[in-house]
Amino acid sequence: MTDRYCVFGHPVGHSRSPAIHAAFAEQTGEAIDYTAIEAPLDDFAGAWRDFVAAGGRGANVTVPFKEDAYRLCDALSPRARRAGAVNTLILADDGGTRGDTTDGLGLVGDLRRHGVALAGARVLVLGAGGAVRGVLEPLLEAGPARLQIANRTAAKARALAADFADLGDVSGGGFDAVEGPFDLVINGTSASLGGELPPLPDALFAPGATAYDMMYGAEPTVFLRWAEACGARGIDGLGMLVGQAAESFYLWRGKRPDVAPVLEALRQAL
């Protein structure tokens, strides 16, 4: 019998997750059926229960349901509990629901594939929403010299920094409080979707710095175009997407797929 998995979102028709997991399944010889399901905004838990009743074994969760997924879990991984959000649901043998988050692992893995050194680095993270919260623990565990969070609402950035202060030298504030230079600047805001830039100084990047945008597209985002004009190397978030999917696949199937060929095929298809 083929095990069923899905990605929940709203909207979700644009998701590349079904293609990614179909490629992982073919690569590893796993028989799975993976679809995209648009869950109702007011009943995510019901959508998950219906999916399980129909034979579902696990799911990825994208916006706007990651906090809903967190709340419905019977058990959480330590990193999911720390993040306060879940992007991977796993149906346990006892019928309970386990939750995990793989976004941070996907980001750190992609940075390492590109040869970005995190240990001892000066890191700036833009944004203080769920996308950022989910990646802070793996980033801090990689041992940066310091990590600064900048957000339009300074209080939100300061509160987020306080939540992770036990893991390293982390601070938070408004965009006007940013003090560079930085070796790595990660854009975790949604500004790129609207073709906008956070209000940041041009003198932000250290020599040889890297700019990473969690968003991706066929062309570089406005954030990456600006960063490259400032002399930084730009990387988009497609590798993070494939990397977090690979970690979810491993949690479900116990096999770790090779990200590189899947990432290359997706890049060609953009």
As annotated, the binding site for NADP(+) includes 127-131, 151-156, 214, 237
- In the chain, the DSSP E strands lie at 3-9, 32-38, 56-61, 75-76, 88-91, 97-100, 122-126, 146-151, 170-174, 182-187, 205-213, 233-235
- Cα-based distances in Å from 86 to 51, 79, 117, 142, 168: 17, 9, 27, 21, 23
- 179: tokens are 């003090």
Residue at 86: amino acid letter: V
- Bridge partner list, 56: 4
Q: Enumerate the known binding-site residues.
A: 15-17, 62, 87, 103, 127-131, 151-156, 214, 216, 237, 244
**Separation CA 44–CA 5 (nearest Å):** 16
- Bridge partner list, 98: 75, 90
Catalytic, 66? Answer yes
44-71 in b/e form (b: 16+ CB < 10 A) is beebbeebbeeebbbbbbbeebbebbbe
Number of H helices, E strands in the chain: 10, 12
- 122: tokens are 């000066």
Residues 4, 21, 57, 66: which is the catalytic one? Answer: 66
Q: Enumerate the known binding-site residues for shikimate.
A: 15-17, 62, 87, 103, 216, 244
**Separation CA 88–CA 195 (nearest Å):** 29
What residues are annotated to the active site? 66
